Structure 1
Amino acid sequence: MVQRTTNSELPARNARQKNDYGDGTIYERQDGRFVASLRSSTGKRIERYAKTRKEAKEKLKQLIHENEQGSLVTERNQKIGDYLDYWLKMRRDSLAIKVTTYVSYSSYLHRNVIPVLGNIPLQQLTGTHIQKLYTALRNDGIAPNTIHLIHTILSAALNDAVRWHRIALNPCKHLTAPRAQRTEIKYLTHEQAMQLVEAAKGYRIEQIILLAVSLGLRKGEILGLRWDDIDFDQGILTVRRTVSYIPPHDGELHMYLETDPKTATSKRTIILPTFIQEALKAHRAQQLQERLKAGKEWEQHNLVFCSMLGKHVKPSSLRTQFKGALQKANLPDIRFHDLRHSAATILLSMGVNVKVIQELLGHANISITLNIYSHVTPTMQRDAMKELDQHYQIARKGEIMVGSV
């Protein structure tokens, strides 16, 4: 039988504070609830309520753990902006997300969420606040897919807030964010791709564009290539890594991060056509001249594509030159990644086997390739049916000729 205490029998606050930092106590209130109480390393006492003593013991264990890990929040009115910054760093430092993902999430939150919700206390954040944010973003012309991604990030952050006992419920739980929509793929035709390659001659990214629009390599895969990855004797190129540009954040300087490719199947070997081998050999000869001219200022990273001093190619420089080549060729404004889509579309329209294209692009399975490039299959079907019809007509004529003999 549980023995309850009266107000006079409740432990005095001063008495509880005699415990060492990190020590905790459990006591029962007059209303029958149990309290798990802990004095943090900052000297502030944190209390959590429970219905049973057993539940209170579990909450006290959690308090002690959070205090030891340095994740215990003692401020009752912590602002949502401060919490999101804290959450991002916790996820990054615990290796729950990659550094590149951390930078991406941080960009979305600081650009779209924190300016609107940042000053609201975390415990006062409601679904109405978040729904108004989504409406404002939509009115500002933010794409539904972007709002959907923001919802996913924010929901994950608030789920952790619930798990860490900062809030009781996730206000995102019952909200409906805009559904992610399948965006229409932009791509160049074979003729347009040739125009771009011709217009890019003389640009430092000439061969970069050639690899992207011919082989479908991703930007990070191209910029991560080293000369050791190219075997001219065998005529092959091996994708072993990808390079991501990390912009300045948290007082740190920008950096280039080399990681494994996007998926296991993204590590692949590609047979190079002769025209690409010749372009790369010419590019290597030009790079050697630049290296000799730079002398001691050259940074040797053995990169296939680099600056005039051997450093990584700046994304801003690549973007500027790419847009310039598009304008020079009088082509529509597309993303660099759309060159990958262009390569796949061109190869499919040429009748190249889908399995070959899947391996070339490094997709995990053929269904991904077919799903992304389904816009090409109707044309492929028509061509296939025409060819089938031709074969049928030829066979039919043969039967008639045989029957007439």
Structure 2
Amino acid sequence: MKQRANGEGTIYQRKDGRWVACITIEYGKRKSLYFKTQKEAIQALKDLPHWKGQDPSFIGKDPTIEFFLKLWLEDIAQPRIRERTYLRYQGLVEQHIIPMIGTIKLQKLMPQQLQQLYNEKRREGYAPQTIKHIHRVLHRAFHDALRWNLIERNVCDAVDAPRVPKYEAQVLNHVEACTFLQAAQGDPYEAIYVLALTTGMRQGELLGLQWKDLSLNGDRLQIRRTIGRIGKQGFIIGEPKSAKSRRNIYLTEMAIKALKKHRERQQEQQRLAGPAWDDQGHRWIFCNQIGRPIEVGNIIRRSFKPLLKKAGVPEIRFHDLRHSTATLLLSMNIHPKIVQEMLGHSSIHHTMDTYSHVLPSLQKEAVTQLNSLFSTQMPT
């Protein structure tokens, strides 16, 4: 490890095996923070610039939960997470957490008070998923407080997160998928439905596509960004959900044809819009009549739901098109690893867990094939 400059802090290991990160907080005063591993101590010093310059009483005294969470959001959470995630965290903290427990001292928070927070949100009619998000934000924030020796334990560990009923996605089978795409022919958003069902891309990934993401010969797309509206913040362009979400996707002939037709339609729209066309240099593949990002609500209300009704297929969510793609691929015996890569899941375990409902039929088919193999090879 290279030598650290003055003020950067030092790291060493005690005889009892613990690691110490020693930092200067004010007037040359030194403070030692203790960790189980060297990795945790190194991370503490990496976080030091975010805390340095803040009120030194933050470390020396017990702050309120409001004070801690606001500092944590701005100086620790924001540099680590995507902007959309940060804005969601900020909304949960300001709307739900601070009003109820913000004045409590960080070290004085009790499990019962946390449970009261969750119970009150349930009485107010919030979904279990929202309450669980609150729990996760607090757990993550208190984990950092614990690393910094600001608290002796993570009080969230003593409170059970609300149980969220597992959502069983409603998917289109291959006949329904074809029927839906037939109904979408000629629709201004036909290409987005074709891509959704033939690539499994997420909604934000589809709407974040730009023409430069299409390969020169037009046979594959590169996922580089997402876009979505976040309340009053407007449209937020962000990074893909995970490192695995940055991926190349090969296109079917149907998708290539749909994109070519869509581009011709868009070029005509641009010609008609004239000077009003303002894509701000992004050249979105899917945009409104003047080149700006599309309002998702408009697509769902004016196009997607009417097309589902027209096709006579189940009224699914837009995201269920992605689930439909995955289910169709797995039912065609496409290897789960390929499905994971197409969908941009962070791990194959996530793919298998999400689509476990498809596995029994695959196992039955596998047994049938094994039975056929041995019955032809073994004498009767």
Q: What TM-score, normalized to structure 1?
A: 0.69
> What is the RMSD of the two structures over their aligned residues, measured on CA atoms?
3.7
Aligned residue in 2 for 1:84? 69
Aligned pairs (5 A) from 1:208-247: 208-231=192-215, 233=217, 235-247=218-230
Aligned residue in 1 for 2:243? 264
Decide whether the 8 Å contact of 1:238 with 1:267 is kept in 2: no
3-state SS of 1:352 partner = coil
3-state SS of 2:161 partner = coil
Aligned residue in 2 for 1:338? 320
State the Cα distance separating 1:278 from its structure 2 match: 1.1
Aligned residue in 2 for 1:48? none
Decide whether the 8 Å contact of 1:291 with 1:310 is kept in 2: yes
Alpha-carbon distance in structure 1 between the residues aligned to 2:273 and 2:125: 47
State the Cα distance separating 1:232 from its structure 2 match: 6.4
Aligned pairs (5 A) from 1:248-287: 248=231, 253-259=233-239, 261-287=240-266
Alignment length (residue pairs): 338
Decide whether the 8 Å contact of 1:207 with 1:283 is kept in 2: yes
Aligned pairs (5 A) from 1:55-204: 57-58=30-31, 69-72=53-56, 80-81=65-66, 83-92=68-77, 95-118=79-102, 120=104, 125-139=109-123, 142-161=126-145, 170-178=154-162, 183-204=167-188
3-state SS of 1:310 partner = coil
State the Cα distance separating 1:286 from its structure 2 match: 0.3
- Which deviates the most, 308-317 or 152-161? 152-161
Alpha-carbon distance in structure 1 between the residues aligned to 2:187 and 2:96: 36
3-state SS of 2:299 partner = helix
**Matching residue's letter, 2:353:** N
Q: Identity of counterpart residues, as a percentage?
A: 35
Decide whether the 8 Å contact of 2:82 with 2:238 is kept in 1: no
State the Cα distance separating 1:289 from its structure 2 match: 0.3
Decide whether the 8 Å contact of 2:65 with 2:102 is kept in 1: yes
Decide whether the 8 Å contact of 1:66 with 1:72 is kept in 2: no
Question: Which one has a bigger Cα radius of gyration?
Answer: 1
Unpaired segments ≥5 residues, structure 1? 1-37, 41-53, 401-405
State the Cα distance separating 1:275 from its structure 2 match: 1.3
Change (3 A) 1:160 1:205: same
Alpha-carbon distance in structure 2 between the residues aligned to 1:288 and 1:65: 49
Deviations 1:20-74 (A, max 9, x none): xxxxxxxxxxxxxxxxxx999xxxxxxxxxxxxx9x8528xx9x99985124468
Alpha-carbon distance in structure 2 between the residues aligned to 1:135 and 1:78: 25
Alpha-carbon distance in structure 2 between the residues aligned to 1:297 and 1:328: 33
Alpha-carbon distance in structure 2 between the residues aligned to 1:278 and 1:200: 14
**Matching residue's letter, 2:140:** A
Decide whether the 8 Å contact of 1:299 with 1:310 is kept in 2: yes
